[in-house]
Amino acid sequence: MREIIKFNDNWHFWKNVSDINIQEGGENVSLPHTWNAIDGQDGGNDYFRGTCLYKKVFCSKDLPKADKYYLEINGANSSADVYCNGKRLAHHDGGYSTWRVNITGYMRTENVISILVDNVANEEVYPQVADFTFYGGLYRDVNIICVNETHFDLDYYGSRGFIVTPEIVGEQATIKMETYVNNMVSGDVIAYRIYDADANLVSEKQAAENICSINIENVHLWNGAIDPYLYTAQAIIIRNGKEMDKVSSRFGCRTFRIDSENGFILNGKEYPLRGVSRHQDRWQIGNALLPEHHKEDMDLICEVGANTIRLAHYQHDQYFYDLCDERGMIIWAEIPYISRHMNSGNENTISQMRELIVQNYNHPSICVWGLSNEITMDGAKDPDLIANHHRLNDFVHEMDKTRLTTVACISMCDMAEEYVHISDVVSYNHYFGWYGGSLDEYGSWFDKFHEKYPNKPIGCSEYGCEALNWHNSNPESGDYSEEYQAIYHEALIKQLFTRKYIWATHVWNMFDFGADARAEGGENGQNHKGLITIDRKYKKDAFYAYKAWLSKEPFVHLCGKRYVDRVEKVTKVTVYSNLPEVELFANGTSLGKKTAVDHFFYFDVPNSGETELVAVAGECKDESHIRKVDKMNPDYILREQGAVLNWFDIVEIEGRFSLNDKLGDILKTFRGKLWFAGLFVTLAKKMSAGNPQSKDKQKKKKKAKNPEMNSGVMNMIGNFTVLRFTGMLGMRNVTFTKEELLKINKKLNRIRKPQNLGN
């Protein structure tokens, strides 16, 4: 019988080393491990991307006796080569899936496993351009699997070699079980068994074939977060009454469809999908998570009341998919085909999608496979991009006839583009009210899409804005305050959750996450759109806005706990609760009771001296305090840290433009348009110079495609100041020096502002 041996301890690690024969230096590490836990989150877009070496010595006698030994790697980002005793045995491209290497014929009495892991920029393996850090390392478990000569296939794309497909008709389910087996001999049979959630045997069959169907009468459905009931399927190879190998997999019996008018339908009933997206990294841990980290994430997602998760932008840990099954989450699973299409990366999209599907096919939580994310960032007309999506979409349907495909479109992608209509359903990443536009545009945009394409299910795959520990009584877009984020999500909840045709909504993001290229908001190296901080220690006010709409657990939350010092004589205080009535007390005096059908309660509070606030809803209570001050606390005002140039360092001339002005205003002038044309040429050159090349083609540099500056793009960036716009280009590997920015500012100082803009 198979045995799985943890292989995480006593590795030796060398950074920036590709010679497997090295003996000196290095450090002792345990897995999971990443070499970017610190530099991948501190800003500057300078985290180490290269080749590193992991080595481990072990004795064959310390392993259980077996016919075959496989090294199982559950995550090596992003490419890796495996050596056993100096012999190169395997290469793998794709940093987020499981893969295995048969080391049997290469083992000696004492053995050395060497693994070269490489997250260098190249043109063949996704992802290469995206708004998150590509942490390198052996960041998930590594195991040794010991099996008999006859065993369930360990070479089948990192899967269990066991596929379970339920088909539900009325009260009965037919469970088709398909196995992939190596070296069965005449007389061998496979015992197929199904157990219920209490480990009671429900049904069993024996067959010599690798496909078997078993019926379950009065089937207990997997019903999402309402009742996530799981069965267990088991397959055992039996020879002369002896078990040779055994695999098992939990599964759920459910039906679903996505309707263009009524949204997501689970087991024949409307089941609105309202949830979040999740990145897997953590503060100073990177992507090298332990099981307790995954569980804490799931607990927090359940606390907010979400019933769906978009697992962005890659395959996540198997343990987290298991948690999704157990908690009844509806999952969007996707590959890291993101931001920039690479003609030379098409085969990698297929291989990563194949591994994603075969390794996760049995999870009832997964309902849609994501083909790509914001891949039309440089335009949607590329014939190769379109052809690859058709191929990928067809491939998914061949691999899995039980689920649907989807894509996440960048906001600027016109809804009429062919790309938008390749997948079965579609969602859009919109940031109106943050990256240009206004907060009230969401509802009208989705209504327009629904009216134009009434038979195409439409969802919202990303929306959000950044918030740090900055505060403002008059919050506005771009101030990175916790108050603006709360206002933003209040508006979005009311627009998105009340349109039943929207098949799913996914907040971007549940947690702040590492994005080393980012330099904004006063804390470089992170995307701060999370409802919770990257260390999971602080739930921002917007978290509770969603909890008020989605959670059934009674609660009340006083917003603004970090916003103590306030200058106004009467200040606005917001309370969130899923209970119908809230009463607010100031220093023990009631300020009245309020009801709110939208779960958002607003109070005007006299601000004098020190005020203790207590919000009461039913049996629930929450407390905070405020303090009257004469001047705004400078600790609440956004200060950029480590920025190349701050707004207050910029020369401003009355009646002239500067880096502190919005692009949209500059482009209203003729000279401003000429200036921007020149800036765009500079930008295109920088993008071309920064285009990552494959290691084998460093001397044959290809120009990057210039970004497509259509009306959607211009509408998005028009609300940015020039300084903010240039700072955000770090996400596309484009940076400006202080000298370059000051030169741009001098050019802008020569352009007069129109009179109607004021000074």
Active site members: 374
Rounded (10°) angle between helices 482-496 and 441-452 = 30
- What contacts 200, CB < 8 A, 6 or more positions away? none
Dihedral class, residue 609 (left if φ above 0, else alpha if ψ from -120 to 50, else beta): left
Structure tokens at 238: 């039996």
* Cα-to-chain-centroid distance, residue 400: 23
End-to-end CA distance of the chain: 79
Sign of the alpha-carbon dihedral angle for 289, 508, 419, 496: positive
Q: Which of 273, 265, 267 is nearest to 427 (CA)?
A: 273
Instruction: List residues bridging with 577 in a β-sheet.
Output: 556
Q: 192 and 214 in contact (C-beta within 8 Å)?
A: yes
Question: What DSSP character marks residue 470?
Answer: B
Instruction: List residues bridging with 79 in a β-sheet.
Output: 93, 118
Question: What DSSP character marks residue 647?
Answer: G
DSSP string covering 340-408, please? B--GGGHHHHHHHHHHHHHHHTT-TTEEEEEEEESTBTT-S--HHHHHHHHHHHHHHHHH-SSSEEEEE
CA separation for the pair 433, 441 (Å, rounded): 8
Q: Which of 195, 189, 193, 185 is nearest to 214 (CA)?
A: 193
Structure tokens at 605: 């509070």
DSSP string covering 188-255, please? -EEEEEEE-TTS-EEEEEEESSSEEEEEETT---EEGGGEE--EEEEEEEEETTEEEEEEEEEE----
CB neighbours of residue 714 within 10 Å: 15
CA separation for the pair 467, 303 (Å, rounded): 20
CA separation for the pair 730, 707 (Å, rounded): 14
Question: What value, to the nearest 5°, has the Cα angle with vertex 412 and ends 406 and 417?
Answer: 55
Structure tokens at 249: 């997999």
- Residue bearing tokens 């992991």: 54
What is the per-residue burial (b if ≥16 Cβ within 10 Å, else e) of 423-434? bbbbbbbbbbbb
CA separation for the pair 229, 253 (Å, rounded): 8
Length of the chain: 759
Structure tokens at 649: 């360092």
Element (H, E) at 742: helix 738-749
Rounded (10°) angle between helices 318-327 and 346-360 = 50
Sign of the alpha-carbon dihedral angle for 524, 525, 527, 528: negative
Q: 161 and 247 in contact (C-beta within 8 Å)?
A: yes
Q: 623 and 728 in contact (C-beta within 8 Å)?
A: no
- Residue bearing tokens 């491209």: 93
Cis peptide before 506 (omega within 30 of 0): no
